Structure 1
Amino acid sequence: MELFGEQVAQPELSCDQLEAILVLLAQQTGLPLFDAYKESCVKRRVVARIRRSGCLDVEQYLRYLQQDAGERERLVTSLSIHVSQFFRNPTLFETLQTVVLPALVQRTAGRPLRIWSVGCSAGEEPYSLAILLVESFGEQVAGEQFEILATDIDRRTLAQAEQALYDADPTLRGVSAARRERFFTEQDGSFKLCPAVQQLVRFRQMDLQLVADYPQADLVLCRNTLIYFNRPAQEKILQALADILPQDGILVLGKSESMPAPLRARFATLDPTERIYSRR
Structure 2
Amino acid sequence: MVKLTDSEFLEFVQYMHKNYGIDLSKKRILIEGRLSNMIERKGMSSFSQYLDSIKRNNKEEITMLINKLTTNYTYFYREENHFKFLRETVLPNEEKNNKIKTLNIWSAGCSSGEEPYTLAMVVDDYFKYSAGQWRIQIHATDISENVLSKAREGIYSEESIKNLPESYKKRYFTKTNDGKYQVSPEIKKYVDFKVFNLMDPIVARNKYDVILCRNVMIYFNADTKINIVNKFYEATKTGGYLMIGHAETIQRNKSEYLYVSPAIYKKE
- TM value normalised by structure 1: 0.82
Q: Deviations over 1:43-83 (max 9, x none)?
A: 45432343231525434544676798754442132234411
- Unaligned runs of at least 5 residues, structure 2: none
Q: Distance in 1 between matches of 2:133 and 2:145?
A: 25
8 Å Cα contact 1:80-1:153 kept in structure 2: no
Deviation at 1:18, TM superposition (A): 4.6
Q: Which amino acid aligns with 1:51?
A: S
8 Å Cα contact 2:142-2:148 kept in structure 1: yes
Structure-2 residue corresponding to 1:83: 73
Q: 2:211 aligns with which of 210, 220, 244?
A: 220
8 Å Cα contact 1:13-1:43 kept in structure 2: no
Deviation at 1:175, TM superposition (A): 1.6
SS of residue matched to 2:231? helix
Does residue 210 of structure 1 match 2:213? no
Does residue 124 of structure 1 match 2:114? yes
Does residue 179 of structure 1 match 2:171? no
Q: Which amino acid aligns with 2:24?
A: E
Question: What is the 5 A alignment of 1:128-167?
Answer: 128-138=118-128, 141=131, 144-167=134-157
Does residue 103 of structure 1 match 2:88? no
Deviation at 1:185, TM superposition (A): 1.0
Does residue 279 of structure 1 match 2:264? no
Q: What RMSD, in angstroms, separates the aligned Cα atoms of the two structures?
A: 2.8
8 Å Cα contact 2:2-2:37 kept in structure 1: no
Residues 114 and 130 (structure 1 numbering): CA distance in 2 closer, same or farther, change over 3 Å? same
- Unaligned runs of at least 5 residues, structure 1: 1-8, 27-31
Q: Percent identity?
A: 25
Deviation at 1:177, TM superposition (A): 2.8
Q: Distance in 1 between matches of 2:188 and 2:244?
A: 24
Does residue 112 of structure 1 match 2:97? no
Deviation at 1:11, TM superposition (A): 2.1
Q: Distance in 1 between matches of 2:166 and 2:10?
A: 47
* Deviating 4+ runs (over 6 angstroms): 66-69
Q: Distance in 2 between matches of 1:63 and 1:244?
A: 35
SS of residue matched to 2:239? coil
Does residue 11 of structure 1 match 2:18? no
Q: Distance in 1 between matches of 2:225 and 2:13?
A: 23
Does residue 52 of structure 1 match 2:37? yes
Q: Which amino acid aligns with 1:155?
A: E
Q: Which amino acid aligns with 2:147?
A: T
Residues 14 and 179 (structure 1 numbering): CA distance in 2 closer, same or farther, change over 3 Å? same
Q: 1:33 aligns with which of 19, 23, 28?
A: 19
Q: Distance in 1 between matches of 2:13 and 2:250?
A: 32
8 Å Cα contact 1:123-1:161 kept in structure 2: yes
SS of residue matched to 1:189? coil
Q: Deviations over 1:256-275 (max 9, x none)?
A: 111213334x1111223xx1
SS of residue matched to 1:130? helix
- TM value normalised by structure 2: 0.85
Residues 69 and 145 (structure 1 numbering): CA distance in 2 closer, same or farther, change over 3 Å? closer
